[in-house]
Amino acid sequence: MSDTKTLPQPALSALELFPRHFQGDAPYAGGIGAAWAPGRVNLIGEHTDYNDGFVLPIAVDRVAAFAGRARSDKTVRLWSAHFAEYARIILDGLPESFGEQRSHLPGWARYVLGVITELAREGVKLAGFDAVVHGDVPVGGGMSSSAAIEVATAQACMLFSRGGFTIGIEGATLRPMQVAALCQRAEHIASGVRSGILDQAASCLGRPGKAVLLDCRTLEYRYLPFDAPHISLVVIDTGVRRELAASAYNERRSQCEEAAHMLRDIIVRSEPQNPLASAVRTLRDISAEQFARYGPQLPATLRKRAGYVIAEDARVIETAALLERGAIEQVGPLLWQSHAGLRDEYEVSCFELDTLVEIAQQVPGVLGARMLGGGFGGCTINLVRNEAIDRLRRAVGGQYQARTGLQASFDVCRAAGGPGST
Ligand code: GLA
C-alpha cells in the first residue's frame, strides 16, 4: 500500500482496526489494502430517477470504506465497526445461493452480498477477502449510506481480486455507470426497494467541486461547477428513521407508472394523429403542456404525483442552466419549490422535515432548503451563505427540539471525489 495521507478518515480507521478483528493465521494471499466510495446529496431532482428523468447529485466528503486482505479461498469475512458485528459470505454457489445466504446476514451485510452476487452474475473473477467496514455517511439519513457501501464493495472486490476485473473509463471490465447499474440491482435484491439509479450513480461519478447532471433514461451525464467559495451545503438530520419508508417508496413508484400509463392512453385517444403519443413510456415523456391539458383527467392522487414529477424535472434542467452560468444563488428558490412539491403533492415529507425547512426559511442568508432523498425522515439539504451557517445552527438549536422533541445534527459538506482504493 502506498501513501496513506490522502486516504479518507474511515479508510484509515478501518486499516487500524483490521489486525484487531482478524487473526494473522488466515490463508492470506496479499498485503493490506483499502477501498472506499462516497455518499451523496442530491441538489435537486427527487423521485425523478425511476421516472426516466433528470437528477443533479453531488458526491460528498463522507465515505464507506473497507480495509483488509485478499484470501486464497472463496470466503469473505467482514467486521462492521458501526454495528460491531461479523458477517460471512461464501463466494462459491453465487448467484444461486443468494437467497439462502441473505437470510442469515444482518442488514448492512446484505448490500455487500448483493454486489458480490451481481458481480458473480456478470461472470467476473472474484477472490475471497477479510475486511473491516467503516464509514462516516450517516446510516439511514438520506445521504445514501447503502449506495456508498455498495460502490465501495465493488471497489474492494476489484482491489482484492488483484486483476480479476477492473473498473475504469477505457478498456476496463466495467465502466463507472455499469458499476452504478450493477449496484442498483444489488440494492433491489438486498433491500426489496425498487430504487432508481440516483444514489449509486452519484457515488460512482463524484468529482471534487462538481455536481453531475444525469439523464436517468440514457445514463448520459455532464459535470457542472459547484464550487462557489462563499456558499456551503449544510445537511441537517431530523433524527427520524421510518421503517415504512420502503413500502411507501415502492407505492410512489407504482403510482407514477400507473399515471404514465393512463396519460398515454388518454393522449392516444385524444390525438390519434400524433405518432409520438403511443411512444409515451414514463412521466419523462409527458411535457408540461400535455400535463396541463390531460392531467385533470387523472384520479386526484395520481394527478398530484405526476404533477410533482413533471415540475421537478423542469426544475432540474433550470438548476443545471443556473449552475452552468455560475448563478448558484438563484438555485435557492427552486429548492423551496421542490420541498413544497414533495410535501404537498408527492407526500413523502414528514413533520420533522417540514419543521427544519420552516426554520431555515426564517434565517437570512439561507438561499434554499428541502428534504433530501426518499423522504419520511432523514435529512434536509440547505444552500447557505457561509456567514449564515452559525445563524442557521442557532435557529435549529433553539427551535427544533422544542417543536419536535428530537435533537437534529448538523453537517457542512463539500462536493468530493468518487470511489478509490490503495
Ligand atoms: C432514494 C432512492 C433513489 C431516489 C431517491 C429519491 O434515495 O434510492 O433512487 O429515488 O430516493 O429521489
pLDDT at res. 5: 66
Stretch 345-374: mean pLDDT: 97
* Closest to 201 (Cα-Cα) out of 184, 189, 218: 184
Ligand 1 pocket residue status of 373, Cβ below 6 Å: yes
Give 265: exposed, middle or buried? Use CB within 10 Å, 0-12, 13-18, 19+. middle
Q: Evaluate whether 354 touches 370 at the Cβ level (below 8 Å).
A: no
pLDDT at res. 244: 65
The three-class DSSP label of residue 306 is: helix
pLDDT band at 6 (very low <50, low <70, confident <90, very high): confident
pLDDT at res. 4: 66
Average pLDDT, the chain: 95
C-alpha cell at 267: 393522449
Stretch 304-320: mean pLDDT: 98
Encode pLDDT of 33-89 as tens digits: 999 999 999 999 999 999 999 999 999 999 999 999 999 999 999 999 999 999 999
pLDDT at res. 165: 93
As a whole number of angstroms, the distance between CA 283 and CA 263 comes to: 9
- Write down the residue that cell numbers 477472490 correspond to: 127
pLDDT band at 361 (very low <50, low <70, confident <90, very high): very high
Encode pLDDT of 317-346 as tens digits: 999 999 999 999 999 999 999 999 999 999
pLDDT at res. 322: 98
Ligand 1 pocket residue status of 80, Cβ below 6 Å: no
Ligand 1 pocket residue status of 378, Cβ below 6 Å: no
Distances (CA, A) of 103 to 42, 110, 395: 32, 9, 45
pLDDT band at 24 (very low <50, low <70, confident <90, very high): confident
- Substitution site in 41, 44, 195, 316 for ligand 1 pocket (most atoms within 8 Å of beta carbon): 195
Encode pLDDT of 174-212 as tens digits: 999 999 999 999 999 999 999 999 999 999 999 999 999
pLDDT band at 3 (very low <50, low <70, confident <90, very high): low
- Write down the residue that cell numbers 434536509 correspond to: 380
SS3 content of the chain, % helix, strand, coil (to 5): 45, 20, 35
Given strand 379-385, what is the order of strands in its sheet? 366-371, 379-385, 231-237, 409-413
Check pLDDT > 90 for residue 218. yes
What's the predicted TM-score (pTM) here?
0.96
Ligand 1 pocket residue status of 46, Cβ below 6 Å: yes
As a whole number of angstroms, the distance between CA 118 and CA 167 comes to: 15
pLDDT band at 249 (very low <50, low <70, confident <90, very high): very high
Ligand 1 pocket residue status of 375, Cβ below 6 Å: no
Q: How far is the CA of 305 from the centre of ligand 1 (A)?
A: 15
Check pLDDT > 70 for residue 162. yes
Name, in order, each residue with C-beta under 8 angstroms of 367's C-beta and a sequence gap of 6 or more. Answer: 231, 329, 331, 332, 335, 383, 384, 385
Torsion of CA 226, 40, 35, 420, to 10 degrees: -20
Q: How far is the CA of 30 from the centre of ligand 1 (A)?
A: 37
pLDDT band at 245 (very low <50, low <70, confident <90, very high): confident
- Specify whether the backbone of 128 is left (phi greater than 0), alpha (psi in -120 to 50) or beta: beta
Q: How far is the CA of 282 from the centre of ligand 1 (A)?
A: 17
pLDDT band at 2 (very low <50, low <70, confident <90, very high): low
